[in-house]
Structure 1
Amino acid sequence: MMHIIDEAKVLLAKDNSPQWQNGYPNEQVLAQDIKQGFGYVLIVDKQIVATAALQQTPDENYQHIEEGSWLKEEQPFTTIHRIALSSNYRGMSLATFFLSHLISESYRLGFRQVRADTHRINQRMKHLLEKNGFQYRGIIYVKDYVDNARDAYQLCL
C-alpha cells in the first residue's frame, strides 16, 4: 500500500501539486486507517493495485465550508481520503471502478452521502470525482498543512 502511495506522491509532484509532499500520508496513517476499519484496497490478479480510506466518522475538516455549502448537512456521511492507484494499472478505468465500490460500500453501511476533497491543482482527482457524479460544493481547510485549502465535493445517494 505504501508503495502505491509513494507512486502517487511522485505523480502529484510531476503535476506541481504540493499535496502529499510533506511526508503525509505515511505508514502510521495507513496503519491507523486499517485499525479503524477505514482502509480499503482493490486487488487485481492477487495484487493490491489501489488503496483508499473510507472514513465512517465525522470529518472535523468538513465542519466549515466556504464559498458554498453542503447538501443534507444534518445527515451522516462517509469521506473518501488517500485514494491512490498503482502506476502499473493506470489507464484501465480501475480508479473509477474502485471509487464506485467505495460509494457502494458507503450505501451498504447505511450512509446516504459521500464527501471528498482534493487540492485545487489536482485535476486528476477532480475529474475522477466529477465523472462519478460528485458535485463541487466549496472550499474546506485541512489542519496542519501549509497550503491547506481544498476543493470539496459531495455525492448524495
Structure 2
Amino acid sequence: MIEKAKQADLSEIIEVIESARAFLKAQGLDQWQTSAYPASSDILSDIEKGIGYVLRHDGVLAGYAAVITGFEPAYDQLKGAWLNHNRDYMTVHRLAISSQVRGQSLGQKLFTDVFETFDTYTDFRVDTHPDNQIMQHILTKLGFEARGTVMYEGERVAYQKLISKVSVKR
C-alpha cells in the first residue's frame, strides 16, 4: 500500500524522480527535461502539505506521487470535455517509478493503491505528456479515458476515470 511520504524519505524520492527523468529522456520525451520540475522543493512542499505518497516494494522506496483532493485549476481549462462537472476529485501528479523496479507493473499498483486509499472518491483525473506511451497504456489499462488536453508543464493529455460506489445493504 502507499503511505504518506516523510521528510526522511526526501533523498530516496529525489533518486526515484531523477531515475524517472532519465528514463523519460531515454524515451526521447521532453517531459521533466526543460526545467527543474519536479524539484526537491516541489516534493518537500508535497510532504509538508500531506499530499506526497510513496510506494515501497520489497523494502525499497519504489515510487512516488502527489495525490491531490479537490479542484485542480489547470483542469478547469480543459480543451475537450470532462465526463461531469464535479469539482471535488482526485488528481495524481508527479508520478515516478524507480528504474530499479521498472517492468513490474508498479505504476499500475500505485494507481490501484490510490483508488483503495481514497475510496470515498469516485472521480480520478490525471494528465501526461502526449508522447508518453507507457503512461497512456497504464491509464487506458486501468480504465481511464482521454478527455482532451490541458496545459500543465506544457500541453498534456488529460484522463478521467469514474468509479461507481455500490453500497451493500445488509
TM-score w.r.t. the length of structure 2 is: 0.84
Between the aligned residues of both structures, percent identity stands at 33
Find the partner of 1:44 among 57, 61, 73: 57
Q: Which whole-Å deviations, capped at 9, do the CAs of 1:77-129 have from their partners, x for residues lacking one? A: 0101111111111111121111110122232xx32100000110111111111
Task: Measure, in 1, the Cα distance between the counterparts of 2:134 and 2:143.
Answer: 15
Task: Say whether 1:152 aligns with 2:158.
Answer: yes
Shift of 1:75: 4.4
Task: Measure, in 1, the Cα distance between the counterparts of 2:97 and 2:111.
Answer: 11
Task: Measure, in 2, the Cα distance between the counterparts of 1:38 and 1:131.
Answer: 25
Shift of 1:37: 1.2
Task: Say whether 1:5 aligns with 2:17.
Answer: yes
Which stretch shows the higher mean deviation, 71-80 or 31-40? 71-80
Runs of 4+ in 1 over 2 A off after TM superposition: none
Task: Measure, in 2, the Cα distance between the counterparts of 1:74 and 1:117.
Answer: 17
Q: Which amino acid aligns with 1:96?
A: Q
- Larger Cα-atom Rg: 2
Find the partner of 1:115 among 113, 122, 125: 125
Instruction: Tell me the residue number matched to 2:108.
Output: 96
Instruction: Tell me the residue number matched to 2:139.
Output: 129
Structure 2 gap segments, 5+ residues each: 1-12, 164-170
Structure 1 gap segments, 5+ residues each: none
Instruction: Tell me the residue number matched to 1:82.
Output: 94
Q: Which amino acid aligns with 2:124?
A: V
Residues matched between the structures, number? 150
Task: Measure, in 2, the Cα distance between the counterparts of 1:99 and 1:82.
Answer: 12
Would you say the 8 A contact 2:71–2:87 is kept in 1?
A: no
The secondary structure found in structure 1 opposite 2:147 is strand
Task: Name the Cα RMSD after superposition.
Answer: 1.1
The secondary structure found in structure 1 opposite 2:118 is helix
Instruction: Tell me the residue number matched to 1:33.
Output: 46
Find the partner of 1:139 among 129, 134, 149: 149
Would you say the 8 A contact 1:42–1:48 is kept in 2?
A: yes
Task: Measure, in 2, the Cα distance between the counterparts of 1:54 and 1:79.
Answer: 6
Equivalent runs, 1:45-84 vs 2, <5 Å: 45-66=58-79, 68-84=80-96
Q: Which whole-Å deviations, capped at 9, do the CAs of 1:14-50 have from their partners, x for residues lacking one? A: 1111111111101110111111111111112221111
The secondary structure found in structure 2 opposite 1:10 is helix
